[in-house]
Amino acid sequence: MEKAERQVLILANPGLGHDSLKATPAIFIGMQLILPKEYAPSHKHSPSAVRFVIEGEGGYTVVDGEKLPMEKGDLILTPSGLWHEHGHEGKEPVVWMDALDLPTVAALEASYCVEGEAQNTRNQPDSSQTRFVRSGLMPFEALSRPRDRYPLKRFPWRDVREALTAMSGITDRSTPVQLAYVNPETGAECMPVLGFSAIMLRPGESVKFNRRSSSAVFSVVEGTGQAHIDGVTLD
């Protein structure tokens, strides 16, 4: 541990080899712990990454000068090539899940990481609390400028949960209650390689998803249920 800058457990699928460091052939998953007053210096890398907060309060990520609070269930984007750093101003440990397209980038021999100086943080709330607080609305000036690839870097769980609850009331029981995380200026996926969505299962509900060629990882935010995958039942 004395040689490690970060406290991370990598979810390495044994079916892919213990040295592969992959959850699936295309997805890296790690569980990262940050303690009060700890700080991960500013850096950028070629793989795209997200931080999905599992537990704890007081953590934050700064991306291109925008300070993003980290609360349980929040999805935080740290896209390829953007400076970012992590810190903790709370009193208890914060744990988040790292998801990266690292296996894909590494297979192309294009993976690198660069460290830099601490960022100057803008003294204002992040865009999820100011510019993009309602679906279907965005700053008027965005209509007359080139679209931003990452205008929204934090998707608060409280907003996602509220939207899922509202959608569940009008969704047929045979249809999944599922919302996509998208770029609010373009409607495209929030990341170019990794796609993200939120799913709500209502009590007593069973949903069968279409079989796909792409691999996926599920992280449970709250509640209990079961997943049936290739004949195996997982609680």
Residue 204 Ramachandran class (φ > 0 left, ψ -120 to 50 alpha, else beta) = left
Q: Report the relative pairing of strands 7-10 and 66-70 from DSSP bridges.
A: unpaired
Are 25 and 104 within 8 A, CB to CB?
no
Above 80 in pLDDT, residue 3? no
Q: What is the mean pLDDT of the chain?
A: 94
pLDDT at 21: 84
pLDDT at 4: 56
pLDDT at 174: 82
Environment class of residue 212 by beta-carbon count within 10 Å: exposed (0-12), middle (13-18) or buried (19+)?
exposed
- pLDDT tens digits along 165-214: 999 999 998 899 999 999 999 999 999 999 999 999 999 999 998 888 99
pLDDT at 1: 47
Q: Does this model's pTM top 0.85?
A: yes
Task: Name which of 3, 78, 76 is nearest 44 in CA terms.
Answer: 78
The H-or-E segment that residue 95 falls in is strand 94-100
pLDDT at 113: 93
Helix, strand or coil, per DSSP, at residue 29: strand
Q: Set out the domains of the chain in order of their start, with CATH numbers.
A: 7-222 (2.60.120.10)
Give the span between the Cα atoms of 108 and 87, in whole angstroms. Answer: 31
pLDDT at 77: 98
pLDDT at 2: 53
Residues 6 or more apart in contact with residue 211 via CB below 8 angstroms: none
Are 45 and 66 within 8 A, CB to CB?
no
| Mean pLDDT (whole number) for 17-24 | 84
| Mean pLDDT (whole number) for 124-147 | 94
Res. 71 pLDDT band, cuts 50 70 90: very high
- Token couple for 187: 């409607």
